[in-house]
Amino acid sequence: MTEQAGRLTVTPVHSHFGARVEGIHLPDLSKDDPAAKELFDELVALQQEYSVLVLPDQRFVDERQMEFTKEWYGPLETQVGTIGTEARLHPNLADWSNVDPEGNGKLLSWSDQRMIYQSGNQVWHSDSSYKPVPAKYSLLSAREVPPSGGETQFVSQRHGYETLPESLRRELDDRIVVHSLLYSRSIVAKGLFRPEQERAIPPTRQSLVRTNPVNGRKGLFIGAHAWYIEDMPYQESRALLDDLLARITTDDCVYEHRWTPGDLVIWDNRCVLHRGRTWDAARHRRVLRRTTVAGDGPTAEPTMATRTPEWDGIVPEGLGVEPAEVPTAAADEVSAR
């Protein structure tokens, strides 16, 4: 049912979360206009409530999208280095596109090396949950869309958490999960990072359950980068993370956004998972551009994870905290001298 929130028209898009918002054209918002500030505050309040906002007909160009995001939301995230071309336009702008950046108008198919990194977006994830300070909001703008396929899907990790059995929720509440982009992309393909790029993204610790600071609502914080739970046998923790993901991503929990050029979707990475859907990339253009608002702080401290045997072959030597040495008889003897 459509409602009026101040000057904005709000229509929920799913029974758990998500709303379509009309009555605002973000590219035109000016910091000099007090009414614009009011409108923006209403939008942020809706964001806390609905987690995903769909704003049709927002005619952004790249420069304005970056400028607007920074001016109104705060510092932008910088993309990590990969073998893909998504950072080619600007370090603060993700270019999700299958159009050959060489400028010859050629379309890149899924077998193209440059598209393989991008295909990692097709598993449920929260943007940059592998960084010590994970992202707050993502603003994804549709510039060109295919006639079919290429949708983006969302699920609410709050609804997911709230519908778990109480006893399970209690078990999860104070747990820490190690997240890693090297782990999540190792499942997609090998060789997606150069050695110096790998060294810039050590695994990081995150709370398994996060609380929204404004309304106190709790949500899970998992997805593709969530590797294992600390202080739990590795296989058991993998099984638990897989089970949680399966529970919160059943069909009835999914909002699927079918893009129209000009759409802007803003989601709250603290409490939502998303994934892109495939399309016929060899035949149809799909160009989306994302700006990402940096998070307010870490979710767990210290942020640096301790190396375990599972890291071998995925995370280069020398990254992370070395596990404390188990004292041997010989070492005891030396220290006793």
Binding mask 116-135 for Fe ion (x = CB under 5 A): -----------x--------
Taking the mean position of all CA atoms in its chain, how far away is CA 315?
21
Binding of residue 60 to ligand AKG (CB under 6 A)? no
Token couple for 143: 């510039």
Residue nearest to ligand AKG (CB): 276
Q: Binding to ligand AKG (CB under 6 A): which residues in 24-53?
A: none
Q: Which residue(s) pair with 203 in the sheet?
A: none
Distance CA(106)–CA(99), nearest Å, equals: 6
Q: How far is the CB of 120 from Fe ion (least distance, A)?
A: 9
Residue among 313, 332, 300 at smallest CA distance from 206? 300
Report CA torsion sign: 67, 71, 73, 76. positive
What φ, ψ does residue 190 adopt, rounded to 5°? -90, 160
Nearer to ligand AKG, 139 or 240 (CB): 139
CB of 304 to ligand AKG, least distance (A): 25
Compute the least distance from the CB of residue 121 to ligand AKG, in Å. 4
Q: Can residue 96 be called a binding residue for ligand AKG (CB under 6 A)? A: yes
Query: How is residue 271 written in tokens?
Result: 């409490």
Q: Residue 63 phi/psi, 5° resolution?
A: -60, -45
The one of Fe ion, ligand AKG, none whose footprint includes residue 98, by CB under 5 to 8 A per kind, is none
Out of 51, 58, 85, 121, point to the residue binding ligand AKG (CB under 6 A): 121
Residue 129's nearest CA partner among 51, 216, 48, 207 is: 207
Strands (E), the chain: 3-5, 8-12, 19-22, 52-55, 94-97, 137-144, 152-156, 176-179, 204-207, 209-211, 218-220, 226-229, 255-257, 264-268, 272-276, 287-292
Say how far residue 173 (Cα) sits from the centre of its chain.
Answer: 21
**Residue 152 near ligand AKG by CB under 6 A:** yes
Using the minimum distance from each CB to Fe ion, give the nearer residue, 42 or 127: 127
Total number of residues that touch ligand AKG (CB under 6 A): 11
CA distance 180 to 226: 7
Task: Provide the mask over 268-287, with x wherever binding to ligand AKG is found by CB under 6 A and - wherever it is not.
Answer: ------x-x-----------
Among 127, 198, 263, 268, binds ligand AKG (CB under 6 A): 127
Asked if 140 interacts with ligand AKG (CB under 6 A), we say: yes
Minimal distance, residue 249 CB to ligand AKG, in Å:
15
User: Minimum distance from CB of 108 to ligand AKG (Å)?
Assistant: 14
For Fe ion, the closer CB: 77 or 198: 77
Residue whose CB is less far from ligand AKG, 143 or 274: 274
Interface with Fe ion (CB under 5 A), residue total 1
Q: Which residues contact 68 (CB under 8 A, 6 or more apart)?
A: 26, 27, 29, 60
Footprint of ligand AKG (CB under 6 A): 94, 96, 121, 127, 138, 140, 152, 274, 276, 288, 290
